[in-house]
Amino acid sequence: MSDSSASASHARILYGLVLGAVVGSLVNAFTIGETGTPAVWVGWLVRNITQPIGDVFLRMLFMTVVPLVFASLAVGVAQLGDLSQLGRMGAKTFAYFILTMACAVVIGLVLVNVVEPGKGLPAETVAGLRAQFETPATANKAKPAEFGIQTFVDIIPKNPLEAATTNPPNMLGIIFFALLIGIGVTRLSGQMHMVALSGLAALGELMVFIIGLAMKLAPIGVFCLIFNTTSQFGFGLLVTLGQYVAVVLVGLALQMFVVLPILVRFLGGMNPWQFFSKTRAVMATAFGTSSSNATLPTSIRTAEQELGVPAPIAGFVLPLGATMNMNGTALFEGVTAVFLAQVMGVDLTLGQQFIVVVLCVLTAVGAAGVPGGSIPLLAMVLASVGVAPESIFIILGVDRILDMCRTTLNVMGDLTAAVYITRTERMPEEPDHPLSEPGEPTEA
């Protein structure tokens, strides 16, 4: 999908959200009865027309979750190559990715727990939302297990196929299996390695294709889904949604303009102001395309020409980061999971929120570097903590602006990693770092 067509698609989704919200709110306002419920014909319209259309859209997204997570994570690990040969640079790069993503998730979870944007809805609205989205299987299943030793035992599935087909899927088990497959691919040699890697990559691309088809239905699907809610529950949910957007944007801003400058200054040895000044083209490209992959050529050119990152380091860290380092995506998924849990009346314990942190970091590694690539993975995180995945529709209409912002953070996180690795892995005969302050050491 080209950048222009992707932008047009997201614009249509936003139009669908606005139109569905306006029409649904008007229907609710003018058809509400003395009992406080909409007219009978509104319920018929929702049950027989708008809800089925919305369900078709959601199911097309959900059907990609398991294969996308499996393929993306396995390929990401396999592309690391032989870890023993990559040595210090590979280990430090991967550790940096995990550290920054975990930090981003924690920031998001602190904000969403302090602000609680999903709470405050009337009890009847929460009950109605649960009735609308929870299937008999999700409503009757046991609550998610508390965090403990059994959590680590359950990570290893007895049967990977069973882990993929349970409701909800055992995604920690699937992730563990995918990581083992990815490591195993690195041990293959010659043609077998290429065939296995190509097959996994092709599976991931096929899932991205299906997501693209689903997103063609998104404007109609989002209209129907938001109409279903606003026609029955009124405008209050949209106010709650605005608070959620504000929490996500504040979290992204804290990671971008507080955490990353600290890392650039103390780990990269650079002046943060100059760093951001030199990377404006990257930020503009990432914000406009909502795609880490589409921004990669600009990132590599900027890293080498503006930041003085040696070509071997830029060629290793940045493509790996476009696949595996997703600060913004991890924060977005953490905030959204807890927000939707609040909306649906599901209280997450501290242990369950720790599981959210782990899942958000791991699924961010597997997120496709394309517009909307994290949405199917978010559904998995929701299911894993006992929240109906179907409730994801609530945030789809505002995902465009959030996608643009989190992609910008994703790409900037990659550049800070390249700066850090450059300082600690100085290539032979490379000049001193161009953004280092006078007299400042360039070696770790």
* pLDDT at position 84 over 70: no
Whole-number Å distance between alpha carbons of 58 and 52: 10
CA terminus-to-terminus distance, the chain: 42
CATH of domain 3-424: 1.10.3860
pLDDT score recorded for residue 124: 65
Mean pLDDT of 135-149: 49
Mean pLDDT of the chain, nearest integer: 76
**Lowest-confidence pick of 43-57, 76-90, 131-145, 186-200:** 131-145
Residue 260: what pLDDT?
Answer: 95
Neighbours of 150 (CB within 10 A): 10
Sign of dihedral through CA atoms 26, 124, 392, 403?
positive
400-412 mean pLDDT: 85
Tell me what pLDDT residue 381 has. 79
pLDDT of residue 385: 77
pLDDT band at 372 (very low <50, low <70, confident <90, very high): low
DSSP state of 367: -
Return the pLDDT at 121: 65
Give residue for tokens 């002046």: 271
Q: What is the 3-state secondary structure (H, E, C) of 81-109?
A: CCHHHHHHHHHHHHHHHHHHHHHHHHHHH
Predicted confidence at residue 293, as pLDDT, reads: 65
User: Measuring CA to CA, how many Å separate 273 from each of 78, 205, 264, 279, 367?
Assistant: 36, 38, 10, 10, 30
Whose tokens are 């990377």? That residue is 279
Q: Which pTM value belongs to this model?
A: 0.67
Neighbours of 215 (CB within 10 A): 24
Q: What local confidence, expressed as pLDDT, does residue 443 receive?
A: 37
What mean pLDDT do residues 429-436 have? Answer: 48
**Which of 105-109, 212-216, 299-303, 309-313 holds the top average pLDDT?**
105-109
Q: pLDDT value at position 373? A: 58
More confident site: 228 or 242: 242
User: Which ranges of 79-189 does DSSP label H, i.e. alpha helix?
Assistant: 83-115, 123-133, 136-140, 149-154, 160-165, 171-187
Those residues whose C-beta lies under 8 Å from the C-beta of residue 317, and which sit 6 or more positions away, are 93, 309, 414, 417, 418, 421
The CA distance from 107 to 378, in Å, is 18
